[in-house]
Amino acid sequence: MESLPPVELGAIIFGAFAATLCLRGPLLRLLVDPRHIFVQVGWQFWVDFGLGLAAGLMAMAFNTLVKGFPVFSGVKLFLGMTAVAFFLSMDAALGRQRDIIATACRKSWHKPPARVRPLARKLAVVATGSTLLVAALLTLILNNAVDWLATHAGGAQALAVAKRSVMVEVVFVTAVLVGGVIGLILRYSENLRRLLQEQTAVLDSVSQGLLDRFIPVATADEFGVIAARTNSMIESLRHRVSLMNALDQAQAVQRSLLPGKLPVRPGLDIAAAAVYSGQTGGDYYDFLELAGDSLSVVVADVSGHGMDSALLMASARGFLRQAALCLSDTSRIVTTLNRHLARDVAGSGHFITMFMLVLDPARKTLEWVRAGHDPAIVYDPATDVFSELKGRGLPLAVDPESAYLPERMTGWPTGSVLVLGTDGLWEAFGPDGSMYGKDRLRAVIRANAALPAQAIMEAIAEDWRRFLDGAPQEDDVTLVVIRFEG
C-alpha cells in the first residue's frame, strides 16, 4: 500500500464513507428517531460507528481483493478508518444530545428517567475505545517497522530510517487521537454548560420564591437524576405553598370566629386572648348575650390541635350559638350542645372540654357548667384566698345522654379576679423539662391583682413566655381574665 498514490487512497476512503453515508439517514429514522430521548444518543453512536466499521471493511476488502495489497496493509487501513469513525460517531452522538437538551429546555421536559445510565459508564466507553485504538495502531506501526527491518536489514542506515518512520507515525497518530479527544471534551463540556446553566437559572428562581419552572431532564445519567429530584422538590414546595396559603385562609376564618370586641358590663373588667400553637387550633372562647342582660363567658378546648380540631371547634361554636338563641337555661344549652356534638364526632376519638360561666351584674351572681374543663380560678385580694369554681360533668361528645347541672354562687367580692383558661397555659414545659403549673400562675395573679384585667392578662402572658425561654409552644393557649369592680 506504500506505493498507492495518496490521491487514490483518499478516493478509496472517501468512496467507502460515502457509500455508507447514503444509508445513514434511513437508518437514523428507522433505528434512532422513534426511540426514547434517553436512549437516542447511544443508538446514534452505535449506528454511526457501525457504518464507520462497514466503510473500513469495504476499503480493506477493495485494497485486498481489487488492488492486491497484503491483508496486513488492509488491516492497518481498517484500524485507521475505525479510529476516525469512533471520534466522528462520538461527535455525532454529542450533537444529538445537544439538540435533545435544547428541545428539553424549550418544551420543559421534566419527567424522571425510568432507568439510570451512569455517567462513569459513558466515560469508560470513551476511555476504553481510545485506549484500544491507540494500542492497536501502535502495535501495527511497530510490527510494520519490524517487518521493514527484516526485509531491508543492512546496517545503521536502515535502522535510522525505521526509527524515523516509527517516530513520525507515532507522533501523527498521537496528535490525531489527542485532537479527537480534545474535540470530544469541548463538545461534551458545551453540553454540560447548557445543562448546568439551565439548572442554575431554575434554582435561582426557586431561591426567589418563584416555582413556575422546572429543570429540563434531558439525560438519563446523574445530571438527569439530580434534575428529576430537584423537580420533585419544586413540586413539593408548590404543594407546601398551596397548603400554607390554605392554612392562612383557615387561620383568618378561625380568627373571625372569635369575638371581635369585648363586652362591656357595669362592674366587670374583661380581657381575653387565644394563642394557637399552629396556624389553626382547637381552643375557643366566646361571649354570649343572654336574657335579662346576663353575660355568658365560654372557654372550650378541643382534643388535639390543628385543622381537624379547628373544624370541630367551628362546629361547636355554631351549635352553641344556636342553642343559646333558642334556650335560656344554662343546663339545657350545654346538654343540647353535647347531644349534637356526640352525634357528629362519633367514632372520631375527639372530645371537647368546656367551661360556661354566666354572670348577672345586676344581682352579682355567678352560674357555671363545667364539662370536663379545669375549674376557673378566683382570687380575693382582701383575704388573699384562692378558690375554684368546681363542678361535675363529662367532656362534651363523650356520652350523648349525659346531663349537665349548673353550680351557682351569690355575690362576688369587689376587687376579686377570675381567671379562666385552657391547659396549654399551666401544662407548658420549659427548656429544663419543668411544667409551668398553677402555683406559678397563682403567684402572678396575686402580684398583679390590683391592675386592670388587660394588664393582669399581659403579666401572665409575659411570665409564661419568660418561662418557655424560647422553647416551642406545644399546645393552644386561651385565657380570659375578669376583674370584679365596685
Give, for 192, the enclosing helix (H) or strand (E). helix 156-207
| Nearest alpha-carbon partner for 98 in 48, 32, 37 | 37
Q: Please count the CA atoms within 13 angstroms of the CA of 162 that sit on its side-chain side.
A: 19
DSSP conformation class of 316: H
Q: Which three cell numbers stand for residue 417?
A: 379576679
| Nearest alpha-carbon partner for 358 in 263, 464, 227, 451 | 263
In terms of C-beta density within 10 A (0-12 exposed, 13-18 middle, 19 or more buried), how is residue 8 classed?
exposed
Distance CA 334, CA 369 (A): 8
Block means of pLDDT (10 residues each) for the chain, 486 residues, are 64 84 90 86 89 88 79 76 84 87 79 74 75 73 63 62 66 74 82 83 83 81 82 84 70 70 90 81 84 86 76 83 82 90 79 92 90 94 93 88 90 90 91 92 95 95 92 89 88
Task: Note the pLDDT of residue 355.
Answer: 95
How many beta carbons lie within 10 A of that of residue 187, not counting itself?
17
DSSP conformation class of 362: T
Task: Note the pLDDT of residue 299.
Answer: 93
| Nearest alpha-carbon partner for 62 in 26, 134, 112, 12 | 12
Task: Note the pLDDT of residue 212.
Answer: 80
Q: Which three cell numbers stand for residue 13?
A: 476512503
The β-bridge relationship of strands 352-360 and 365-371 is antiparallel
| Nearest alpha-carbon partner for 19 in 45, 44, 52, 46 | 52
Please give the model's pTM, rounded to 2 decimal places: 0.59
Q: Which three cell numbers stand for residue 60?
A: 480493506
For residues 305-317, b (16+ Cβ closer than 10 Å) or e, as one string? bbbbbbbbbbbbb
Distance CA 93, CA 89 (A): 6
Q: Which three cell numbers stand for residue 227?
A: 434534575
* CA-atom Rg of the chain in angstroms: 44
Task: Note the pLDDT of residue 243.
Answer: 74
Domains, the chain, in order of start with CATH, read: 6-235 (no CATH), 261-484 (3.60.40.10)
Give, for 425, the enclosing helix (H) or strand (E). helix 423-426
Task: Note the pLDDT of residue 7.
Answer: 74
How many beta carbons lie within 10 A of that of residue 324, not counting itself?
21
Helix, strand, coil shares of the chain as percentages rounded to 5? 60, 15, 25
Task: Note the pLDDT of residue 1.
Answer: 40
Task: Note the pLDDT of residue 142.
Answer: 67
Task: Note the pLDDT of residue 165.
Answer: 65
For residues 294-304, b (16+ Cβ closer than 10 Å) or e, as one string? bbbbbbbbbbb
Residues 416, 421, 426: CA angle, nearest 5 degrees? 105
DSSP conformation class of 365: E
